[in-house]
Amino acid sequence: MALNFLEQLVAEWYEFRGYFVRRKINVGPSLKGKFEFELDIVAFHPGKPHLVHIESSMDATSWDQREKRYTAKFGAGKKHIPSLFSGFDLPEIDQIALLVFAGKLRVPTLGGGKVLLIQDFMNEIRSDAEWGLATRSVRNRSVPEQYVILRSLQFATNYWITAYPLPTTECAGIQWRFAGCRQNAGLYPRSSGRSEHGPSGWSPRVCRATL
């Protein structure tokens, strides 16, 4: 079965950093040829050593439902993951629940594993001291092509123009944005030419809003 986007991103991030990664692992075979659970991502780095089990989710179910599901999944992970790496002296399994939608309630653990919010995970990918994409130039430290999502993110961090410097209090000057207009602020395209202070093809618009 193919990985979804979030699982693929997690797998690429760990594999890119030297982990041996297993994806969508069926564990706990039943008598009818099915399995009790499917583990999303298990990654092992023998050199650290570090063993991590990540269950990602984009659902918006209740915390009680999530607690039951993650308790079962992480329990299955603790039971079956050691057999995936027989012959190794394994460390304790680091279990992580990666959530996209968390609402206003923020809890540190879920089902016995640590909660990692998507914004924190994305910031790790961008800013990690050794592997972060923000400091890796496409010209001489390019992400290998097999990591399609990571490579796309690297190109984004290298080449997207997200914003020019903006005032931090009252917006009383000219505001430049590449992301389009917001209410009473932003950019609008012009037919040709270059502004003295902004990107080619865009004109300034006076911002009368308060930031």
What's 28's domain CATH number?
A: 3.40.1350
Query: Could you tell me if 131 and 184 lie in one domain?
Result: no
Query: Could you tell me if 168 and 142 lie in one domain?
Result: no
Query: Could you tell me if 89 and 115 lie in one domain?
Result: yes
Residue tagged 């653990």 (tokens):
109
Query: Could you tell me if 33 and 103 lie in one domain?
Result: yes
Determine which helix (DSSP H) or strand (DSSP E) holds 53, and give its type and residue range: strand 50-57
Is pLDDT above 90 for 162?
no
Tokens at 86, concatenated: 């027989």
Query: Could you tell me if 137 and 166 lie in one domain?
Result: no
Query: Could you tell me if 9 and 93 lie in one domain?
Result: yes
DSSP 5: H
pLDDT grade for 166, boundaries at 50, 70 and 90: low
* C-alpha distances out from residue 86 to 80, 83, 90, Å: 11, 5, 9
Among 119, 144, 159, residue at a domain's last position: 159
Query: Could you tell me if 118 and 193 lie in one domain?
Result: no
DSSP 142: P
For residue 113, the one-letter residue type is G
Is pLDDT above 50 for 198?
no
pLDDT at position 204 is 47
Domains: count for the chain? 2
DSSP, collapsed to helix, strand or coil, labels residue 41 as strand
d(CA 137, CA 122): 18
Query: Could you tell me if 106 and 167 lie in one domain?
Result: no
Sign of CA dihedral 45, 110, 149, 126: negative
Tokens at 106, concatenated: 């923020």
d(CA 146, CA 159): 20
pLDDT at position 1 is 52
pLDDT at position 22 is 96
First to last CA, the chain: 46
Query: Could you tell me if 26 and 72 lie in one domain?
Result: yes
Q: Average the pLDDT over 20-39 and give the result.
A: 88
Residue 12, judged by CB atoms within 10 A of its CB (0-12, 13-18, 19+), counts as buried
Query: Could you tell me if 83 and 98 lie in one domain?
Result: yes
Query: Could you tell me if 187 and 102 lie in one domain?
Result: no
Query: Residue by residue, what is the 3-state secondary structure of 74-138?
Result: HHHHHHHHHHHCCCCCCCCEEEEEEECCCCCCCCCEECCEEEEEHHHHHHHHHHCCCCCHHHCCC
Query: Could you tell me if 72 and 141 lie in one domain?
Result: yes
Q: Are 154 and 143 in contact (CB under 8 A)?
A: yes
Least confident of 85-99, 135-149, 178-192: 178-192
d(CA 41, CA 52): 8
What's the mean pLDDT when you consider all of the chain? 82
User: Which domain covers residue 137, as residue numbers?
Assistant: 5-159
Is pLDDT above 90 for 18?
yes
Q: Are 132 and 125 in contact (CB under 8 A)?
A: yes
pLDDT grade for 196, boundaries at 50, 70 and 90: very low
Is pLDDT above 50 for 53?
yes
In this prediction, what percent of the chain has a pLDDT beyond 90?
64
In this prediction the pTM is 0.75
Tens of pLDDT, residue by residue over 96-134, are: 999 999 877 778 999 999 999 999 999 999 999 999 999
